[in-house]
Amino acid sequence: MNKYRQAFLIGLQGSLVYRWTFAVRSVFSLVQLLVVFILWGAVYAGSPVVGGFVFGQTLTYFTVLVVLQFFTSAFNEDYQISEEIRNGLINQFLLKPIDYFLYRLSIFFSARVVSGVIVLVPMATAFVLLRGRLVLPHEAWRLAFGLPALAMSAFIQFSIAYCFGMLTFWLLEIQGFVILSMAVESILGGQLFPLDLLPAGLFRAAQFLPFYYQTYFPAAILSGRITRDLAGQGLALQLFWTLALVGVARLLWRRGLGRYTAVGG
């Protein structure tokens, strides 16, 4: 366990080098919130209730979503893993008693600690600017359900990024596939609109996909968009997807190593 703690600490130092990149990204997330504010402000100007929610609730959803992304989303882990495979840097992990998945997971968590702390500054500004407009729910169960949902969301997002990184064993270039999946995730993860605005059948179908649990699910629990029953069912399905994706990630590593040719000295 100590070796992964050391990896986490090294990851912290490495992420601090990119603190300005995270800072720039977090400032631009404020601009994205402004787009949300203008678009949804115009949507609600013609109708005070959309899909059963008022403007404040939708604004709260997007604000929570933006903050959570800095704590749980994989930013460029897929590219980092891909680079390590392509350049033969994984050779060292094949010779040492270190589990590559757990090593990368430790680095991922350290990066999320840094990006999570950095986003708090612009988001504190956003909360001040939007105070009086945000509608935060008060039920205690939302925190009890929301925190495990958040933790599993991080595992799901990391595992998906890890799986894309693993594709490097088979493909030369993964960038196209990563950006393709980002388009799917942005719509089915509820990053463009709250998924509950989908027609009922499609919303139900989305609940069986892993993307639902990446961002929409924890944000919807914490911002008060879904009921306790739906959250309870969701946690069970989220646990299934977490285990399944971690399993697929590990399987791809084993299969990929079978094809791997170690290069470099």
Partner 1 sequence: MTPLTYLRIWMAGARYSVVRTLMFRGDFVVWSLVELFWMTVNVMMIAVIYSHIASIAGWSEYEMMLLVGTSMLIQRLLMGFFWSNFYEMGRNIRTGAFDFYLAQPGNPLLMVSTRKLDLDGLANSVIALALVIYSTHRLGLHPGPRDIALYGILVLAGLVVHYSLLVLTNSTTFWLKSAQGLEGSYFTLAEFGRLPREAFKGLGSLVLVWILPVVVTTNAPARTILHGFHLAWALWLFAAAILWLGIAVFVFNRGLRQYSSASS
Give me the residues that bind partner 1 (CB under 8 A), please.
20-21, 24-25, 28, 31-32, 34-35, 38-39, 41-43, 45-47, 50-51, 173, 176-177, 179-180, 183-184, 186-187, 192-193, 197-199
As given in the structure block, the two tokens for residue 24 are 């720039």
Phi, psi of 53 (to 5 degrees): -125, 145
Nearer to partner 1, 28 or 208 (CB): 28
Minimum CB distance to partner 1, residue 40 (Å): 9
Nearer to partner 1, 92 or 175 (CB): 175
Phi, psi of 54 (to 5 degrees): -90, 170
As given in the structure block, the two tokens for residue 110 are 């350290």
Q: In DSSP terms, which residues pair with 50 in a beta bridge?
A: 53
Minimum CB distance to partner 1, residue 1 (Å): 33
Nearer to partner 1, 50 or 230 (CB): 50
- Alpha helices (H) along 96-216: 100-130, 141-166, 175-188, 200-206, 211
Nearer to partner 1, 13 or 32 (CB): 32
Nearer to partner 1, 20 or 140 (CB): 20
Q: How far apart are CA 103 and CA 162, in angstroms?
A: 12
Nearer to partner 1, 164 or 253 (CB): 164
Minimum CB distance to partner 1, residue 43 (Å): 6
Minimum CB distance to partner 1, residue 73 (Å): 14
**H or E segment and range at residue 66:** helix 55-72
As given in the structure block, the two tokens for residue 77 are 């882990």
Minimum CB distance to partner 1, residue 100 (Å): 26
Minimum CB distance to partner 1, residue 131 (Å): 17
Q: How far apart are CA 122 and CA 28, in angstroms?
A: 9
Minimum CB distance to partner 1, residue 172 (Å): 9
As given in the structure block, the two tokens for residue 210 are 């892993």
Nearer to partner 1, 42 or 236 (CB): 42
As given in the structure block, the two tokens for residue 8 are 């986490």
Q: What is the Cα Rg of the chain in Å?
A: 19
Q: How far apart are CA 13 and CA 155, in angstroms?
A: 22
